[in-house]
Amino acid sequence: MIRYGLIGGGMMGQEHIRNIALLGDAAVTAVADPDEGMRQLSLATATSAKGYLTAEDLIARGEVDVFLVAAPNDLHAGLVQQLMATEKPILVEKPLATTTAACRDLLNQSKGRRAPIWVAMEYRYMPPIQRLLGALEQGAAGTPRMCAIREHRFPFLPKVGDWNRFNARTGGTLVEKCCHFWDLMRLLLRADPVRVYASAGVDVNHADERYYGHRPDIVDNAFVVVDFENGARGMLDLCMFAEGSHWQETVTVTGEVARLEARIPGPLRFAPEGAHPQAQFVTSVRAFRREIVEEVPVPAELLRAGDHHGSTFYQHRRFLDLVRRGKGVPEVTLEDGYWSVLVGEAAEESARSGMPVDLRGRRP
């Protein structure tokens, strides 16, 4: 039994607890969270776990095999720095940090560390995305030239202390939410980004909210274009006030042979009563001039366990395999985490300035 120490028992932390329990040979046995409500909800989900007020208390006990960081974004870097000294495996939620400077510090400090640090980019492990990656590996699209991602969804949900309403604590929407998409673009197009241009606004969500006398400043819609060093291009179409969309995300890659698309519905808890939303994978071959649509099923218990279409479970299974082997490189490295924050940070900068941002010379 692999014992997880969870730092951050909020909404995402509780999703991790439910999915780890489904693995069968792992469990969350310790939870640290300063918020009494979230800590008790987590302990009610992880019934055999001990509760701690602080991460320091949990770390000092040394009663876990791996650490899982699911605290607010602005705490990630400091927590990972503390955990590095333990020489135990670490799974840290996205984004790795709220700034590229902090990500670079973590990269430097991790040199020589033997135990793995894995950045939790769950979207890689959604079954339709895995189907898309497999098709690309087999050459189904030809050479990937364009990647278009659309996310049309509900606004950010309430969080303890309203930390997700402000750029200072999240890194901005294009870091907090969209680091997933920059990671996917880089993975799907097999290249690093070199230029980012964004147009974004704070137009609909949270306009009537005030926290500590301040109005939320996170953007709620954006178009972002990313150029890659191999000549490929990526585009993100983000809308955070589109609750009625059946497909919450669509991820499309187009080459000279075909257009491939993964279609992902919203979370089960937002689906109509009794619905069991299924993802789709669509192939549009130029020579045939027609679409081939196939369903990509996800077990109902995984849909109930979280809001990320089964990906949290599949990610944990891969992470646990690495932990049990005792050696190897994480599938999602600190460098991957750095790139995803770098593009998001550049997109936020571009949206404010109205100018493109050149990323050359910013390699980790």
What is the CATH classification number for the domain harbouring 137? 3.30.360.10
Which DSSP string do the residues of 70-82 spell out, in sequence order?
A: -S-GGGHHHHHHH
363 belongs to a structural domain = no
The pLDDT of residue 253: 98
Print the domain residue range for 141.
Answer: 124-305+339-358
192 CB-near residues (< 8 Å, 6+ apart): 186, 228, 229, 339, 363
pLDDT tens for 332-362 read: 999 999 999 999 999 999 999 999 999 999 9
Inter-axis angle of helices 127-137 and 311-325, nearest 10: 70
106 belongs to a structural domain = yes
Q: 342, 172 in Cβ contact below 8 A?
A: no
187 CB-near residues (< 8 Å, 6+ apart): 124, 133
The pLDDT of residue 273: 72
Looking at the structure, tell me whether residues 52 and 27 fall in a common domain.
Answer: yes
The pLDDT of residue 142: 97
Residues found in the chain? 364
Looking at the structure, tell me whether residues 131 and 264 fall in a common domain.
Answer: yes
Looking at the structure, tell me whether residues 150 and 50 fall in a common domain.
Answer: no
11 belongs to a structural domain = yes
48 CB-near residues (< 8 Å, 6+ apart): 27, 29
312 belongs to a structural domain = no
Looking at the structure, tell me whether residues 326 and 223 fall in a common domain.
Answer: no
For the chain, what is the domain count? Answer: 2
Looking at the structure, tell me whether residues 144 and 251 fall in a common domain.
Answer: yes
Looking at the structure, tell me whether residues 101 and 134 fall in a common domain.
Answer: no
Looking at the structure, tell me whether residues 326 and 240 fall in a common domain.
Answer: no
Computed from CA positions of residues 74, 347, 187, 311, in that sequence, does the dihedral angle turn out positive or negative? positive
What is the CATH classification number for the domain harbouring 49? 3.40.50.720
The pLDDT of residue 240: 97
The pLDDT of residue 277: 80
Looking at the structure, tell me whether residues 105 and 173 fall in a common domain.
Answer: no
364 belongs to a structural domain = no
pLDDT < 70: residue spans in the chain: 274
pTM, rounded to two decimals: 0.96
Looking at the structure, tell me whether residues 128 and 215 fall in a common domain.
Answer: yes
Looking at the structure, tell me whether residues 140 and 32 fall in a common domain.
Answer: no
Looking at the structure, tell me whether residues 18 and 33 fall in a common domain.
Answer: yes
The pLDDT of residue 272: 76
Residue 184: both structure tokens together: 């996917």
Looking at the structure, tell me whether residues 130 and 48 fall in a common domain.
Answer: no
310 belongs to a structural domain = no
218 belongs to a structural domain = yes
CB atoms within 10 A of CB 178: 28
Q: 263, 246 in Cβ contact below 8 A?
A: no
